[in-house]
Chains A and B, each alone.
Chain A
Amino acid sequence: MSEFFHQYFDFHIMGAHFSEVLDGFLKNLLLFAVVVVLALAWGLLLALLRQLPGKKLIPIRGLTIAYIDVLRAIPLLIIILLISGGIPYLNFLPKDLRIPQWFGQPDPFWYGVLALTLVYGAYMAEVYRAGIEAVPRGQIEAARSLGMSHGQAMRHIVVPQAVTKIPAPMLNEVISLLKDATLVSVVAYGESVLVGREVLAETFNSSAVLLAGLMFLAITLPGARIVDKLIARNQGKITRGAHIEVA
């Protein structure tokens, strides 16, 4: 039993490799920060495309729905492997696009960004959709009856109201993203899990891996608490009948 604890709680090893694992964790955070912004934007765009009304735009709606379903259906790990294994071979693209080394970040970083954005954009699009659909239909009808175009109705009436219903479920997706981003270790991006496994190979001990896990805990636990508070606050607002404040 003590051997078990020794495998995971060897503080000497944790101490010796702390800054390495921390550096790796910062790489996790960097990847996460870049993807979060891109995925939120991409997801919103997808959600809006999915909403476009009218017979003529059925192909766009159909493609968007298909994209959202497919990207949520294929395991993220497979998408990461497909992208990092396939893009270098797209010979019609210039090398700078196939094997991106932009801003000093190596190509596994950018493949990770692409894969995570494509997939999490799809999940986030569904969160936006739920928010948009939660806005009562009468709102759009009133807006359209006043002569506003679909775009104006979305912009002034629907999206501002949808936005208040989104933070709690969206934060869940965001936390999920932070954790899933570790999968990029499989294409040799030097983030904390990879570092942990390196130390494991060197020392035959898993403590560095646990250390990486603890670093995540430090961020995701408070994050989950915030989500709970947000949900409770919005619930309270609904039951008290307060108008939802929008900036």
Chain B
Amino acid sequence: MAEAMVRLEEIHKRFGDLEVLKGVNLDVAKGEVVCILGPSGSGKSTLLRCVNLLEPPERGEIFLEGHDICKGPGSGTGEASWELDFVRQRVGMVFQQFNLFPHKTVLENVTLAPRQVLGKSRAEAESKAKALLERVGLGDKFGQYPERLSGGQQQRVAIARALAMEPHVMLFDEVTSALDPELVKEVLDTMRELAGEGMTMLVVTHEMGFAREVGDQVVFMDGGVIVEQGRPADVLDNPREERTKKFLGRVLER
């Protein structure tokens, strides 16, 4: 069996007195799209942010392409430097609030990290950036500032920006939740294409349709643990657990 691209073992995370992750285990294979669902407060966003060490876990191991990126139990509160760089360059993240840099143009947003972190030349970074922006359908927006773009366009720039670092894994944290409904489709389409190209993706989302059509694995979280996981058809159409049924019932009523 191929080694997992991302392996999470017994992840525990607390914020102050509140334990948010209570022992989560998850394997993500290369090229797999894993959709994570759950009510708010279930810990799904936190789990995602553990993978790129934005929120290092207190306990547990995280393996990225076979490398342990936490230095072992109990070390999660600090930042291990070379593992951190390794992680952040291999793992791209797209945020609910886009977080584009408002004082830089669209093109600059995409070229900044490749130039500063990977040391690419301006020409190299720009040509790659332009290709990516065209791929997400924004080839005419290079010189614009983010504030001029719609939400959907901004999010697509954010995806291009993350892809510019040539990550092996992409994390999507409810990336359509802040968008007007008519703009959601363009972003989901971009993600669908990305999945089709074989990108390993962890997607926290409420978009059941996307999970069903694009996801290889669906994970349902509640109260800091994984309640149920499996193929989309299984989890979404025939949930076994009560909590899963309740959640889906509420969501699908919308």
Q: Interface segment, B97-105, B190-198, B200-208, B228-236? A: B97-105
- For the complex, is B95 an interface residue (Cβ under 8 Å from A)? yes
- Establish whether residues A146 and B117, one from each chain, have CB atoms under 8 Å apart when the complex forms: yes
Cβ of B99 and Cβ of A138 under 8 Å apart?
yes
Contact present for B78 and A55 (CB under 8 Å) = yes
Chain A residues positioned under 8 Å from B101 (CB to CB): 139, 142-143, 156-157
**Given A138-B97, A157-B101, A148 and B113 touching (CB < 8 A)?**
yes
Q: Which residues between 89 and 111 of chain B lie within 8 Å of chain A, taking CB atoms?
A: 89, 91-93, 95, 97, 99-103
Which listed residue (B78, B92, B112) contacts A54, Cβ 8 A? B78
Residue A141 at the B interface, CB < 8 A? Answer: yes
Name the residue on A nearest B89 (C-beta): A147
Counting chain B CB atoms within 10 Å of each CB, the highest count among A136, A141, A145 belongs to: A145
Q: Is A16 part of the contact surface with B, judged by Cβ < 8 Å?
A: no
Residues of A with C-beta under 8 A to B146: 243
- In the assembly, what is the distance between CA of A136 and CA of B101, in Å? 10
| Closest chain B residue, CB of each to CB of A245 | B103
Give complex CA distance A142, B102 in Å: 12
**CB atoms of A148 and B52 under 8 A apart:** no
Q: Which of chain B's residues has its CB closest to A241's CB?
A: B147
Docked-complex contact B103 and A246, CB < 8 angstroms: yes
- Give the contacts of B63-122 with A (CB-CB under 8 A): 77-79, 85, 88-89, 91-93, 95, 97, 99-103, 112-113, 116-118
State the interface size on chain A (CB cutoff 8 A): 27
- Smallest distance from the beta carbon of B211 to chain A beta carbons, Å? 23
Is A167 interfacial (CB-CB < 8 Å)? no
Contact between A55 and B88 (Cβ–Cβ < 8 Å)? Answer: no
Asked if B54 is at the interface of the complex by the 8 Å CB criterion, the answer is yes
Query: Does A64 sit within 8 A of B, measured CB to CB?
Result: no
**Please, which residues of chain A bring their CB within 8 A of the CB of B116?**
148, 152, 156
Residues of chain B with a CB closer than 8 A to A28's CB: none
Inter-chain contacts of B44 with A (CB < 8 A): none
Contact A147 B165 (CB under 8 A): yes
A244 touches B102 (CB 8 A): yes
Task: Say if the beta carbon of A73 comes within 8 Å of chain B.
Answer: no
Bound CA span A107–B158, Å: 57
Inter-chain contact B54/A145, CB cutoff 8 Å: yes
Is the CB–CB distance between B147 and A141 below 8 Å?
no
A29 to B162, CA, bound (A): 50
Chain B residues lying within 8 Å of A100, measured Cβ to Cβ, are none
The CB with the most chain A CB atoms within 10 A, among B79, B92, B162, is that of: B79
Tell me, in angstroms, the Cα distance from A242 to B146 when the chains sit together.
10
Evaluate contact between B99 and A141: CB separation under 8 angstroms.
yes
Mark A122-152 against chain B: 1 for CB-CB distance below 8 A, else 0. Answer: 0000000000000010110111111111001
A156 — which chain B residues lie within 8 A by C-beta? 101, 112, 116
Query: Does the CB pair A145–B117 fall under 8 Å?
Result: no
Interface centre among A54, A141, A142, A156 (most CB of B within 10 A): A142
Bound-state CA distance A243–B80 (Å) is 36
- Shortest C-beta distance, A157 to chain B (Å), equals 6
Q: Does B210 reach chain A (CB closer than 8 Å)?
A: no
Task: Tell me which residues across on chain A come within 8 A of B93, comparing CB atoms.
Answer: 142, 145
Q: Are the CB atoms of B88 and A144 closer together than 8 Å?
A: yes
Whether the Cβ atoms of B102 and A145 lie closer than 8 Å is no
Contact of A146 among B77, B103, B145, B161 (CB under 8 A): B161
Q: Tell me whether B113 and A144 are in contact (CB under 8 A).
A: no
Chain B residues, CB < 8 A from A246:
103
B164 to chain A, nearest CB (A): 8
B54, B85, B95, B102: most-surrounded residue (chain A CB, <10 A): B102
Which of A144, A244, A246 neighbours the largest number of chain B CB atoms within 10 Å of its CB?
A144
A54 to B162 Cα, complex, angstroms: 25
Task: Name the A residues within 8 Å of B161 (CB-CB).
Answer: 146
Which among A139, A146, A152, A157 has the greatest number of chain B C-beta atoms within 10 A? Answer: A146
Residues of A within 8 A of B95 (CB): 138, 141-142
A144-B97 in contact given A156-B116, A243-B147, A244-B103 (Cβ < 8 Å): no
Closest Cβ of chain A: how far from B125's Cβ, in Å?
Answer: 12
**26 A-B residue pairings within 8 Å (CB atoms):** A54-B78, A54-B79, A138-B95, A138-B97, A138-B99, A141-B95, A142-B100, A142-B101, A144-B54, A145-B91, A145-B92, A145-B162, A146-B92, A146-B161, A147-B85, A147-B165, A148-B113, A148-B116, A152-B117, A157-B101, A161-B103, A241-B147, A242-B147, A243-B145, A243-B147, A245-B103
Q: Which 4 A-B pairs have the closest CB atoms?
A: A142-B99, A146-B113, A147-B88, A138-B99
Residues of A whose CB lies within 8 Å of any CB of B are: 53-56, 136, 138-139, 141-149, 152, 156-157, 160-161, 241-246
